[in-house]
Amino acid sequence: MIFSLYPVFLMRILITEEALQDGFGHWPSYVGDIATGLRSLGDEVDVAVHRNATQNIIARVGGTPWFSRNCWIDPKSQGAMGGLVHNLIFFRELLSWLRNHQSYDWICAFTIRLQHLLAFALLARSGTIPRKTRFFLLFVQGFGRYAGHGKPTEFPKNLSTMLARFCFWLLTPAARSGRVVVAAETKGMKDELERFTGLPVTLAPHPVHFTDSSKTTLSTTFRSQVSGFIPLPLTITCPGFARHEKGTDLLQDAIRILLSRPDADRFRFVLQWPEPFAMLDDTIIGPNPALLKDSRVEFLNQNLNSEEYDALLNRTNLIILPYRRSSYHHRVSRVAIEAAGRGLPMIYSKGTWSEEVADLVGSGVVIADESAENVVKSILKASDEFSDLAILTGSGACRVREYHSVESLRSILKS
């Protein structure tokens, strides 16, 4: 009897992502990590990207130019009528792809929006799609409105809500039969979708690839903290472009307070701030002129490639994520996963999804409320307890890396 040495169950998978057009946003790293990881496990993966995708994007994800619109930036795809038209165009273009390719086990949309929902509902009901083909629809944006800390989101009564409910009604038979998997990456989003749709929702990981250098950094940092060594100054980094929802204004005010203290020289801060951003009252916020001249504060004004981003985290001791709850109550922070998976202690806002990462890794310092003063208190607490935090985070990093992995996602697709 001859036994095969190859995996018993390999899959043909199509990933659809029209937002893969240029180098901005998290899509290249996110989809690239998933596609590369699945291919390394033996699966055959196609990635349909925007027809104007750059060569760097195509190479990063192994993509094929296809979709004509990007609803994240195309003004013609906004509003009720624009969203409806986008759905019809997306449906036509995806159906054309499927008719010209061998059938798939899975069609995956990892950032589905209302502009795609009707298209997928129609495809899931279509008799032209082989019955073996299943749909994995991951919602990073829900349909609820933030109602305050600790309160369930509310669903506004408007045309978009009505259209979404109609689409989910169309999807219901396929979702009940398992042909369609409705998924979310956060417990809060899972709860919101289940309340909104009445359908079962699968909790999925957010896969992140950790490089060999990040593994080396983890082991080196962990060993140094076990020995009781505390680096001075502490480098505290807030990765990702400065924005209101990320609480960058609160962090800047907190830095000004901290640098006025007698012990200020024990801190170094790094912020990514390529351009000013608008507050809710339309006030424009940019780097403080005094901080621009301060050698203890570094402002990065460019979009970092993977090597530069890796180097930034390698020289970081603490990650700070002072995100606002109204934006991040149900929203994943890829930075939180990358930090915790490396063994970097994290300072994060109470009531944001980062709490789930802190629970998983078993470490972190919470910012109790959205104010510069509370940010200061949390930074001081984290610096005073840094050695213990680093030991706990280093010990729990493996749990983050295992859960937020391609293997973890693939186990869902295999079920």
Quick: pLDDT tens for 41-84.
999 999 999 999 999 999 999 999 999 999 999 999 998 899 99
Domain assignment present for residue 7? The answer is: no
Quick one: pLDDT at residue 137? 98
Same domain (yes/no): 347, 304: yes
Domain assignment present for residue 292? The answer is: yes
DSSP, residue by residue, 29-86: HHHHHHHHHHHHTT-EEEEEEETT--HHHHHHHTEEEEES--TTT-GGG-HHHHHHHH
The CATH number assigned to the domain holding 397 equals 3.40.50.2000
- Give the number of domains in the chain: 2
Tens-place pLDDT, residues 293-317: 999 999 998 877 778 888 999 999 9
Domain assignment present for residue 179? The answer is: yes
Residue type, 131: R
Quick one: pLDDT at residue 331? 87
* Percentage of the chain exceeding pLDDT 70: 93
Q: Distance between CA 413 and CA 406 in Å, rounded?
A: 10
Quick one: pLDDT at residue 147? 87
Residue-number span of the structural domain to which 138 is assigned:
12-204
Contact 108, 12 (CB under 8 A): no
Q: Distance between CA 31 and CA 15 in Å, rounded?
A: 8
Same domain (yes/no): 158, 225: no
Domain assignment present for residue 45? The answer is: yes
DSSP-assigned letter for residue 211: P
Region for residue 348 given its phi and psi (left: phi exceeds 0; alpha: psi -120 to 50; beta: otherwise): beta
SS3 call for 240: strand
Whether the full predicted model's pTM is greater than 0.85, yes or no, is yes
Contact 15, 44 (CB under 8 A): no
Spell out, as residue ranges, where the chain has pLDDT lower than 50: 1-7, 216, 219-220, 223-224, 226-227
Q: Which of 169, 204, 239 is the last residue of a domain?
A: 204
Average of per-residue pLDDT values in the chain = 91
